[in-house]
Amino acid sequence: MALAASVVAAPPTTAIIGTPPQPDWVQLSAPQKSILAPLAKDWSKMDNIGRKKWLGIAERYPAMKQDEQQRMQERMREWVGLTPEQRAKVRDTYKDFKQLPPEQKKLVKQKWEAYSSLPAEEKQRLRDTGKSARLLAPPPEAAAPTSDSPSRGSPENNALPTPSANEATRNQ
């Protein structure tokens, strides 16, 4: 009876759930190294979750079309050029975008396409003047103007999104 009481009284053990250790750069296969080459210098600084994500992309990479592969390589080069703060902002923006209703996602994509087609000088002018609209701002019909916010027809409300927000839609 005493034995049963000690078994019942024992505290439960805790299980640590996490991402198992991921390989160091030298442990990657030649194809993985080739695909993930833009990330080589940062690989040792990545946490296991980040490494696992990139390894998953490397696994899917051979099945991608040529233009998708090129875009992925470009995105990796851009990603390594971002500061930790910029990366966090991109992640947050992407998470916000994923939670938007489909009709608002469509509007955001349309705004981005319009912005992307502008000449570089015009994009820079919009960024410099602060008139590039927030990518995830509610559509005009959902946002009632207040005394201190722009009206529906004002240039601020009709401006285009900033490029950093677009990276969130393509990087994750």
Least confident of 5-9, 57-61, 103-107: 5-9
Average pLDDT, the chain: 76
Percent of the chain with pLDDT over 90: 43
Burial 80-95 (b: 16+ CB within 10 A, else e): eeeeeeebebbeebbe
Least confident of 30-34, 54-58, 162-166: 162-166
pTM of the model: 0.56
pLDDT of residue 167: 42
Q: What is the pLDDT of residues 16-48, one digit of tens each?
A: 567 899 999 999 999 999 999 999 999 999 999
Tokens 């005394």 sit on residue:
147
* C-alpha to C-alpha distances, 25 to 33, 74, 105, nearest whole angstrom: 8, 20, 37
Pick the residue with more confidence: 6 or 169? 6
The pair of structure tokens assigned to 30 is: 């030649």
Least confident of 70-74, 79-83, 111-115, 128-132: 128-132
Q: Alpha carbon 12 to chain centroid distance?
A: 38
CB atoms within 10 A of CB 96: 14
DSSP, collapsed to helix, strand or coil, labels residue 82 as coil
Q: How far apart are CA 55 and CA 57, in angstroms?
A: 5
DSSP 8-state assignment for residue 119? -
Q: What is the pLDDT of residues 108-157, one digit of tens each?
A: 889 888 888 889 888 888 777 766 654 445 555 544 444 444 443 333 33
